[in-house]
Structure 1
Amino acid sequence: MSAMEPTNTHEFPLDHEPIEAWQRVGSAAVSGPAGVDVTTAFAELGSIGGADYGLWEMSVGSMRDVEGDEVFLVISGTGRIEFEESTRPDIDMAPETLVRLSDGEKTRWTITEAPLRKLFIGPSEG
């Protein structure tokens, strides 16, 4: 796929992988419903003006993360971001929610309707 071609953000295929052990919430081996692994998927679509953009999604369940600088728009799904070690209020996410995250923020993502899919834009890493 070329970054110059129109992309259907709802139908673009993403391959899910289980989250890493450090991202799991609580002492359970999995953080999803009924013993199902929580998974995420990612696809970088291109870059413009020193920023990368792409798609990311997560299955139902909870996970921890350490954020990088980014702005994202929720395309599908619902959930909540809670901020650990911060006074920043929680963010409820649904389609059309625009969110700004800052580098180093420690978060807990809980997805209730999946997949939660977002279009993200962030600084290029290379």
Structure 2
Amino acid sequence: MTILPPDAHTADLTYQHLPAEQVVSGPAPRVGERLLGDVAGASVGIWEIEPSVTCDVEIDEVFVVLSGDATVQFEDGTPDLELRPGSLVRVHTGQKTRWIVRDTLRKVFVAAT
């Protein structure tokens, strides 16, 4: 049995600045993460990012937004996603995205390892 944090909204995370090559504009935001373990070959955890405009190349992942406000734009023509608490999202390996984070975003994720 693994003991998980009692509240994903307030769980302590380990923070670092996002690498400069992922920053589209402004200063590098802090991102926080706490891995909770693996389930059937996938990582499960909590992730957070400060307000910013950044880019990423996604991996296979499903996540639920706990808090925050953001838009995710996709280079491949997939419609933009407006993220709010409760948003349930699936992204695929190789999708190139731009994250416009207006309010610190925290999510719980299950991602391919």
What SS does the aligned partner of 1:22 have? helix
1:39 matched to which residue of 2? 30
1:54-112 Cα deviation digits (max 9, x unpaired)? 0111001111111100000000111010112x110000000000000000111111111
Note closer, same or farther for the CA distance 1:5–1:25 as it changes in structure 2 (3 Å cut).
closer
TM-score scaled to structure 2, two decimals? 0.91
Gaps of 5+ in 2: none
1:102 to 92, 106, 109: 92
> How many residues end up aligned between the 2 structures?
113
1:112 matched to which residue of 2? 102
Alignment of 1:1-126 (within 5 A): 3-5=2-4, 7-26=6-25, 31=26, 36-84=27-75, 86-114=76-104, 116-123=105-112, 125=113
Indicate the RMSD between aligned Cα atoms, in angstroms: 1.6
What SS does the aligned partner of 2:21 have? helix
What SS does the aligned partner of 1:96 have? coil
What SS does the aligned partner of 2:24 have? coil
CA distance in 1, matches of 2:77, 2:101: 21
Gaps of 5+ in 1: none
Q: Which amino acid aligns with 2:100?
A: T
Q: Do the aligned residues in 1 keep the contact of 2:5 with 2:11 (CA within 8 Å)? A: no
Q: Which amino acid aligns with 1:80?
A: T
Q: Which amino acid aligns with 1:37?
A: A
Q: Which amino acid aligns with 1:41?
A: G
Note closer, same or farther for the CA distance 1:6–1:63 as it changes in structure 2 (3 Å cut).
closer
Give 1:19 deviation, angstroms.
Answer: 1.2
CA distance in 2, matches of 1:51, 1:10: 21
Q: Which amino acid aligns with 2:110?
A: I
1:37-69 Cα deviation digits (max 9, x unpaired)? 312111110122222200111001111111100
What SS does the aligned partner of 2:93 have? coil
